[in-house]
Structure 1
């Protein structure tokens, strides 16, 4: 059976990830599982519209580590995708030039709509068959949050995107924009909620999220908050992947960590050290998106969605699958 070995790199606002896999017509097989480094590339980009020098240095250091891995695992091709922070940075060419020197591949700054499509591809590539369609996939990043609705399995395939929108809200952006006090004040939280809801209103004008029957959440914020809801003492992706979480449990934990001082968050080994200061902002976005989709679903078909499914598969998986399939088609 024909196959290709490809690497995917996903560089977001808060973290950069690498995955190497063998792709064939049936899917993909990991060769190098996801490698993640928290680099906070989007540090202050919301205010300055430029990458900070120290953020670039963190990104270059991570890229050097990835280059070593790729030297040990030759591939047929690499696709390097950059998202929200890079879309906003005026000095992104400096970043792109340096990354190309280090890794031999130039980052592609993709639009939010393509990011949404790839996240949906990755999330639905391993979805359980008993989940009710249509699925809405939410990819909550540091700088943006993608909302993607798929087909119902009757008039359109379950894995076919029916609507997608990228909102400029995320864990880093909301923290830097609104949550300045540690812990945040009620006024700061209220300002953030108003901002988040305004973006959700805009998204709902494009994506009929109320048609969804199943919510699938991807990204570090979602999986971290899921692990905390589960009471895990250490993060374990095998336990988190595919778990269903009731809304009341998620809301309670999200609110608790939003209002928790950062030093207290540091006591939880479940949270990656690079997320300590922004995980509360991400939790707030996550709660609002869940609540609003639940309300929209009840208004649309009379049945409220009251839980979500957490997934370890999202944008990075979509990058690898999509790129591998295109290489196979070109052969």
Structure 2
């Protein structure tokens, strides 16, 4: 006899942060048991250059994993899924990481390809979409530390929140752009120009797979997007309940992205809205985000004569997709 609901834990281990959520999944969707816990571990430290995990980065990941193991032990669950993304895909010594995580948590990390990461991000982001307020197709942009996923889906008629029409994972993100280009503090104009050119080259490649011009709504997920949105809103401290679902004009997004890109790290520290673990890389994320927004808006205008002038920030993305997808699979067994 199949269960009516399952309680699952999901872990999203990215290039800059690792996150845990425990939720009950049933036919109606996902219901939080333990809200998201986030720790900035910078697992992808120098991976873009060395293609290896640094010892200190691994230790930060293990500390967080042990903390998460303690949280999970306090809650009866039907299963745990640990997903690792961009940095782990690129690290030549990832087996060492996988072995230790399995020892700590009892499950081996799933190192998923960028396309699956994109699909799960789309599932998580669109699972809470109000179809009446946000017209499909949706373009979900998941801007991480090491990679950025573009996913378009929803035909506006049948199952618009689950139907993926195109997905691509770009090997660029806030940490990669910072380590690769924005090495001065603040970055020089030459470094900014080189970062923009790098991002545009990756977007060109992505657009050959993802028909971004068909999008009617842009949904931005990830710490970079929500942080920059909070800054544009003038929040003194980060409040996810206010940021989640907020619609921001592209004009306001460009202004705040450029402002914080050109700041020194000391100046950024004055803003309590920015997580301390993002202070040094938020500029790299701002470059990626502003270029994606501009290019998608231009593509939409070329496709149907009307540029997109705003986006929706979402607290729901890859982690939600991991939990929801895993829970549904357990229910189907």
Residue 61 in structure 1 maps to residue 63 in structure 2: yes
Pick aligned residue for 1:237 from 229, 240, 244:
240
Whether the 8 Å CA contact 2:135–2:156 is kept in 1: the answer is: no
CA distance in 2, matches of 1:61, 1:157: 40
CA distance in 2, matches of 1:264, 1:88: 32
Q: Which structure 2 residues correspond to residues 1-331 of structure 1 after superposition, within 5 A? A: 2-129=4-131, 130-154=133-157, 157-330=160-333
CA distance in 2, matches of 1:29, 1:280: 34
CA distance in 1, matches of 2:122, 2:247: 18
Structure 1 residues 20-66: Cα deviation after superposition (integer angstroms, max 9, x where no partner):
00000110110000000000000000000000000000000000100
Q: Shift in Å at residue 153 of structure 1?
A: 1.9
CA distance in 2, matches of 1:114, 1:127: 20
Query: Normalising to structure 1: TM-score of the pair?
Result: 0.99
Range with greater deviation from structure 2 (269-278 or 147-156):
147-156
Q: Shift in Å at residue 128 of structure 1?
A: 1.5
Q: Shift in Å at residue 155 of structure 1?
A: 6.8
CA distance in 2, matches of 1:70, 1:57: 20
Q: How many residues align?
A: 330
Q: Could you say if the C-alpha distance between residues 220 and 233 of structure 1 is closer, same or farther in structure 2, counting changes exceeding 3 Å?
A: same
| SS state at 1:298 partner | helix
Q: Could you say if the C-alpha distance between residues 2 and 156 of structure 1 is closer, same or farther in structure 2, counting changes exceeding 3 Å?
A: closer
Q: Shift in Å at residue 317 of structure 1?
A: 0.2
Mind listing any 5+ residue stretches in structure 2 that lack a counterpart?
none
Whether the 8 Å CA contact 2:137–2:160 is kept in 1: the answer is: no
Structure 1 residues 261-285: Cα deviation after superposition (integer angstroms, max 9, x where no partner):
0001011110000000000100110
CA distance in 2, matches of 1:154, 1:242: 22
Root-mean-square deviation (Å): 0.9
Q: Could you say if the C-alpha distance between residues 299 and 156 of structure 1 is closer, same or farther in structure 2, counting changes exceeding 3 Å?
A: farther
| SS state at 2:218 partner | strand
